[in-house]
């Protein structure tokens, strides 16, 4: 974004060393700005033009005054720019427009400042004028950035607190739609409740850096990615390890949109992201959240890997862990192994290795023949032979039922 035609067709009269016409000069500079970063409606708004005129006039007057008096930019000029920048942040207008206005104004008055230098002290004067220009531009640009960033930080903090309060209310079934609207959120009728686990960033275990700082930065990147989600805003309640995300839905979760979202969150986090989801009407979000997190726990404990896991992929395992007589019976099948924990480890390794004895041996760090002997011992104690399809299924079901204690699971889908 630049001023067209050099400095916007500014006339010699407007640049008169004696009495610059700041009002006319400011209008010419603003008219010469390219405002492509602003939408058509915003660009034509009187508030935007008025702010840009104020910015340009503030900068031109401050720089000329500082150069002629060989002083620093007045504090009131920096404060004025800081206030305007904060207002733009509140209106979510791009900071680039103000910064380019500052630079365009500085460019426009450069000839005026340099033109004040003459005579035998010209070289020293030019050097002094250059120093003043650089210092003034740095001070004014910093004021713009400071005002904008401070306002964004304040807004982000307020919005994050409001968002977390709203998510907490939705998850406990105590949401008030009117309160949500006052916080700028229109509640959807139906949500996808995403239970999310954030894996560790590689640097979290690096002794040379602070792992907690790495984890917080990972979380902020994930939150920023969620904020970019198009359409109605996703609501989240996340820690560095994961949490819950509520995504407004139209009822079609099979189009890959959710998978793509989890992929983007993984890229933003630079860490594995595992998730499971349940879609539910707004008033059933609390139960849906419980179920989504049960599914996520299942996926994690079964070692299903990062990505989005659907209920249909875990339906059998989910049903097996539900409390009841069937669950109790299946859990008891491996009770004879309680006094020989290495046999329980062998069962786990065997299924983790897709029932391949060679792979199980590598996982356990023992020989294949040792795995064979342990499997024979398991058969002798339980009466279940891993080489028989039916017995293998029961062994697998018993392993799954023991993933959760009965008290950890409540209700069925």
Residue-level pLDDT at 392 = 93
Q: What is the three-class DSSP state of 206?
A: coil
Q: Is the pLDDT of residue 36 over 70?
A: no
* Topology at the third CATH level for domain 158-310: Alpha-Beta Plaits (3.30.70)
Alpha-carbon torsion angle 355, 358, 359, 364, nearest 10: 100
Q: Is the pLDDT of residue 154 over 90?
A: no
Who wins on pLDDT, 394 or 154?
Answer: 394
CATH code 2.60.40.10 for 325-403 = no
The answer to whether 344 and 335 have CB atoms below 8 angstroms apart is no
Annotate 91-156 with three-state secondary structure: CCCCHHHHHHHHHHHHHHHHHHHHHCCCHHHHHHHHHHHHHHHHHHHHHHHHHHHHHHHHHHHHHH
Who wins on pLDDT, 207 or 330?
Answer: 330
Residue-level pLDDT at 126 = 46
**Tokens representing residue 348 in the block:** 């786990």
276-313 pLDDT, tens per residue? Answer: 999 999 889 999 999 999 999 999 988 888 999 998 88
Residue-level pLDDT at 13 = 46
309-322 pLDDT, tens per residue? Answer: 998 888 888 888 88
Residue-level pLDDT at 2 = 39
Alpha-carbon torsion angle 191, 195, 201, 205, nearest 10: 150
In the predicted model, what is the mean pLDDT of residues 340-357?
91
Nearest to 305 by CA among 262, 273, 352, 278: 273
Who wins on pLDDT, 105 or 275?
Answer: 275
43-98 pLDDT, tens per residue? Answer: 556 678 888 889 888 888 888 888 777 778 888 888 888 888 888 887 778 888 88
Least confident range from 52-66, 164-178, 336-350: namely 164-178
Q: Is the pLDDT of residue 169 over 60?
A: yes
Residue-level pLDDT at 18 = 52
Q: Is the pLDDT of residue 362 over 90?
A: yes
Domain boundaries along the sequence of the chain: 22-115+123-156, 158-310, 325-403
Least confident range from 122-126, 163-167, 290-294: namely 122-126
Nearest to 228 by CA among 238, 220, 237, 218: 220
Predicted structure pTM score: 0.60
- Name the band, by pLDDT with cuts 50, 70 and 90, for residue 156: low
Q: What are phi and psi of 256, to 5 degrees?
A: 90, -5
Nearest to 217 by CA among 268, 285, 155: 268
> Edge-to-edge, what's the strand order for the sheet holding 190-198?
235-239, 242-248, 190-198, 273-281, 307-309
Residue-level pLDDT at 406 = 57
Residue-level pLDDT at 179 = 65
Residue-level pLDDT at 263 = 93
- Name the band, by pLDDT with cuts 50, 70 and 90, for residue 159: low
The answer to whether 283 and 264 have CB atoms below 8 angstroms apart is no
> How many angstroms separate the CA atoms of 229 and 224, rounded?
9
Q: Which residues are registered as beta bridge partners of 308?
A: 275
In the predicted model, what is the mean pLDDT of residues 330-352?
91
For β-strands 190-198 and 273-281, DSSP reports them as antiparallel
């Amino acid at each position: 974004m630049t001023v067209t035609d050099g400095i916007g067709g500014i006339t010699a009269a407007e640049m008169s060393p004696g009495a610059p016409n700041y009002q006319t000069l400011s209008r010419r500079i603003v008219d010469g700005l390219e405002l492509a970063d602003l939408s058509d409606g915003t660009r034509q708004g009187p508030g935007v033009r008025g702010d840009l005129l104020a910015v340009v006039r503030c900068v031109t007057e401050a720089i000329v005054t500082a150069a002629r008096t060989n002083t620093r930019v007045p504090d009131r000029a920096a404060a004025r720019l800081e206030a305007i920048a904060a207002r733009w942040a509140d209106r979510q207008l791009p900071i680039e427009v103000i910064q380019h206005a500052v630079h365009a104004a500085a460019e426009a008055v450069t000839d005026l400042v340099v033109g004040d230098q003459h005579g035998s002290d010209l070289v020293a004067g030019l050097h002094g004028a250059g120093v003043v220009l650089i210092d003034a531009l740095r001070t004014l640009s910093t004021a713009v950035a400071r005002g904008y960033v401070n306002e964004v930080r304040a807004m982000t903090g307020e919005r994050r607190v409001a968002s977390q309060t709203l998510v907490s209310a939705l998850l406990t079934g105590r949401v008030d739609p009117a309160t949500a609207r006052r916080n700028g959120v229109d509640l959807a009728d139906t949500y996808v409740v995403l239970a999310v686990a954030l894996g560790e960033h590689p640097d979290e275990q690096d002794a040379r850096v602070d792992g907690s700082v790495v984890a917080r930065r990972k979380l902020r990147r994930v939150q920023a990615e969620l904020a970019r989600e198009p359409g109605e805003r996703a609501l989240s309640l996340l820690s560095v390890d994961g949490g819950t995300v509520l995504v407004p839905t139209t009822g079609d979760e099979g189009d890959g949109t959710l998978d793509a979202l989890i992929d983007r969150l993984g890229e933003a986090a630079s860490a594995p992201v595992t998730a499971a989801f349940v879609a539910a009407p707004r008033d059933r979000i609390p139960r849906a959240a419980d179920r989504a997190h049960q599914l996520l726990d299942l996926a994690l404990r079964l070692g299903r890997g990062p990505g989005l896991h659907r209920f249909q992929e875990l339906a059998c395992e989910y049903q097996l862990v539900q409390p009841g007589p069937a669950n109790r019976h299946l859990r008891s099948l491996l009770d004879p192994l309680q006094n020989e924990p290495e046999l329980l480890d062998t069962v786990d390794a065997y299924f983790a290795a897709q029932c391949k004895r060679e792979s199980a041996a590598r996982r356990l760090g023992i020989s294949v023949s040792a795995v064979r002997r342990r499997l024979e011992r398991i058969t002798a104690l339980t009466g279940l032979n891993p080489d028989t399809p039916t017995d293998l299924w029961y062994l697998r079901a018993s392993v799954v039922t023991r993933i959760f204690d009965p008290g950890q699971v409540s209700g069925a889908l």
